[in-house]
Amino acid sequence: MYINMFLYIISCIFVLLSHSAMLLNVYFNGSAESAANVIILAVAVLGLDFAYFIIMLMFRQRSYAIDFLLILILNMSVIFQSCFGGVHLSVKHYITCIVSLAACKAGFLICKNPKWLQMQKKYIYLAIGILIVAILTLTGSRSMWINIGSISIQPSEFIKPLFVLACATYVAEQQKKRKVLWFYVVYENFALYGLTAVICLLQWWCRDLGSLPTFVGIFVCGFFLRICYPKAKFSKKTLITAGVILLIVALIALRFAPDYVQERLHTDIWNDKTGSGYQQSHALIAIADGGWFGKGPGNGTLCNIFAHENDIVFATISEEWGLLFTLMVMLAILIMLAVPLINPPRSYYHSTMSAGVCAYFIMQMSLNIFGSCNMIPFTGVTIPLISAGGSSMVTSGFMVGMLIAAQSPEFRQSALRQKRNTPVRRQTA
């Protein structure tokens, strides 16, 4: 049960208030064909709010701030997605949001005990292995989608949280050096480097280059935490060397990138408005058209463009709700990521995990937003929690669960203690 019922109610009220304000905006400014559509949307959103407020209390947590932020952002995305091309509840996105909330709670339960999770590392590696095999065998020829009936799953999304966990394990295990011949080595290092290489090759192979920077971002995050941790202090030389190496690798990668990537890098979108610059140019026009205050929910024109609900969702929202509001939403996501700064995690495992989650969110958001606005090459990645897309929503929900776990950690170690401490006791007795 929550410690302070008063604060809980205050938070609930404010979340409901901001959703209601948005719904009012939809009702008065929107292009709803009938009020019924708005009412259905309102009932769905506010109902989900209430349901989650109650479910939230069933979990023993020290901190609920991220939970509130999560439901705030998720239901905003439901409202956004429901307004594209006319106001009507986007049932598909609504369901993925519920699944995402469930994934969040699952993530919390799995990750709340760092010691326990650290011991389960072989399952993490196993799961990544299974997913890689699944990508290699089940996806169509060199693509990133598995089609089951009408549902398409992007398995590489699911690797991301596991990869964050692998990074966290790797940092937390740094003390466990084993002597092999004359060298002290940490097995985890080899495991993680190997894993990173395999994943990068895999992304390259299945042409999912949008996800590649995210993985690299998470890895760099973990790697910095490691090289800063047991070996040397935060040495500038190391950092600069690592940065230079990364830059060189990136440049080489770009040099030898496949043709379709090269094409994306060297496209002047305004000269190719109907070809490869189609989405970006329309996205930018839409943002400019929306201005600060937007055209009103449901009045956008971008909903006729391919991938308006995920790849260029920033522009779609910006057109309908205004750039100002869209920036606020991004700010809310940033605040959610910044909660570990306010309330620090209590173990290396959790702190690395938080940093990894942050890296995931920021990388995805940057790639999406800056890509769709033509500041960097356009890759089809999603904004976590905002873009439509089942795999991405579930993954990001799980990641938020990991953040929550880092806020409300558990330090039980019963299994571990029995195994390790018995001989010690005998020795010291």
Partner 1 sequence: MDFFTDTSSIFLCAVSAAALDLCVLVLILIAYNEKKHAQQYWNRISGCMELSAPDVSYPLNCGEILIGRHASADIRLPDLSVSRYHAILTVSDGIWTITDIGSKSGIFVNGTLVTERILRENDVINLGNKRLIFRRRRNNNVH
Partner 2 sequence: MKSIKRSQYIISLFIIVFIAGMTALVIKIRTEADFYMMNSDEQVLGMVYDRNGGVLFDGTGKGQYEDNFFVDVGNLIGDNKGQMTNTLVAQNLKRLNNYSFSSGTVDDGKAAIYTTLDHNANRAVYNAYGFQKGCAVAYNYKTGEILVCTSLPSIDVTKGYDGIEYFESGTLISKNMYRTVPGSTQKVSTVISALEIMGADRLFSKVYNCSAHYTNLNGDVIDCHNWSGHGDQNIQQALENSCNPFFAQLIENDEDLPLEDIIKQYKKMGYAVNEDEDEYIDIDGIQCEKASTTLMDSHEFRTQWGCIGQGDTMVSPIQLMMWQSAIANGTGKMTMPHLIDHVTDVDGDITETAETEFSKQIFSADTANTVRQMLLTNGANHYVYSISGYTVGLKSGTAQVDEGAKENSLLVGFVDDPNKPVAFCILIEDKNSGYLTTEQVAKIMLDSINLQ
Residues contributing to the site for partner 2 (CB under 8 A): 171, 221, 224-225, 228-229, 234, 270, 273, 281, 284-285, 287-293, 295, 301, 323, 327, 330, 334, 337-338, 340-341, 344-348, 351-352, 354-355, 358-359, 362, 365-366, 369-370, 373, 375
CB nearer partner 2, residue 202 or residue 358: 358
Report, in Å, the least distance between residue 229 CB and partner 2: 5
Site string for partner 1, 389-408 (x = CB under 8 A): ------------------xx
Residue 91 near partner 1 by CB under 8 A: no
Site string for partner 1, 297-326 (x = CB under 8 A): ------------------------xx-xx-
Spatial neighbors of 22 by CB under 8 A, at least 6 apart, are: 76, 79
What SS3 state is found at 183?
strand
Site string for partner 1, 172-201 (x = CB under 8 A): x--x-x------x-----------------
Report, in Å, the least distance between residue 231 CB and partner 1: 8
Please tell me the distance from the alpha carbon of residue 111 to that of residue 347, in angstroms, as a whole number.
Answer: 12
Report, in Å, the least distance between residue 10 CB and partner 1: 6
Name the segment binding partner 1 (CB under 8 A); options: 23-31, 101-109, 272-280, 360-368: 23-31
Quick one: what does residue 413 bind among partner 2, partner 1, none, with the CB cut-off 5 to 8 Å set by partner type? partner 1
Quick one: what does residue 303 bind among partner 1, partner 2, none, with the CB cut-off 5 to 8 Å set by partner type? none
How many residues sit close enough to partner 1 to count as binding (CB under 8 A)?
Answer: 72
Please tell me the distance from the alpha carbon of residue 128 to that of residue 106, in angstroms, as a whole number.
Answer: 18
Quick one: what does residue 289 bind among partner 1, partner 2, none, with the CB cut-off 5 to 8 Å set by partner type? partner 2
Phi/psi for 153 (5° steps) reads -115, 140
Q: What is the largest CA-CA distance in the chain?
A: 80
Identify residues 262-301 at the interface with partner 1 (CB under 8 A).
Answer: 293-294, 296
**Count of CA atoms in the C-beta half-sphere (13 A) of 292:** 0
Residue 236 near partner 1 by CB under 8 A: no
Measured distance between the N- and C-terminal CA atoms of the chain, rounded to whole angstroms: 41
Please tell me the distance from the alpha carbon of residue 128 to that of residue 199, in angstroms, as a whole number.
Answer: 9
Phi/psi for 184 (5° steps) reads -90, 120
Report, in Å, the least distance between residue 114 CB and partner 1: 7
Token output for 299: 């009045």
CB-based burial label for 240 (10 Å; 0-12, 13-18, 19+)? exposed
Report, in Å, the least distance between residue 349 CB and partner 2: 10
Please tell me the distance from the alpha carbon of residue 164 to that of residue 183, in angstroms, as a whole number.
Answer: 27
Residue 237 near partner 1 by CB under 8 A: no
Please state whether 44 falls in left (phi above 0), alpha (psi between -120 and 50) or beta: alpha
Give the number of other Cβ atoms within 10 Å of residue 218's Cβ: 26
CB nearer partner 2, residue 66 or residue 221: 221
CB nearer partner 2, residue 2 or residue 224: 224
Please tell me the distance from the alpha carbon of residue 45 to that of residue 91, in angstroms, as a whole number.
Answer: 11
**Helix ranges (DSSP H) in 30-90:** 35-57, 65-83
| DSSP character at residue 303 | G
Identify residues 61-80 at the interface with partner 1 (CB under 8 A).
Answer: 62-65, 68-69, 72, 76
Residue 419 near partner 1 by CB under 8 A: no
Phi/psi for 344 (5° steps) reads -65, 150
Q: Which of 145, 204, 224, 229 binds partner 1 (CB under 8 A)?
A: 229
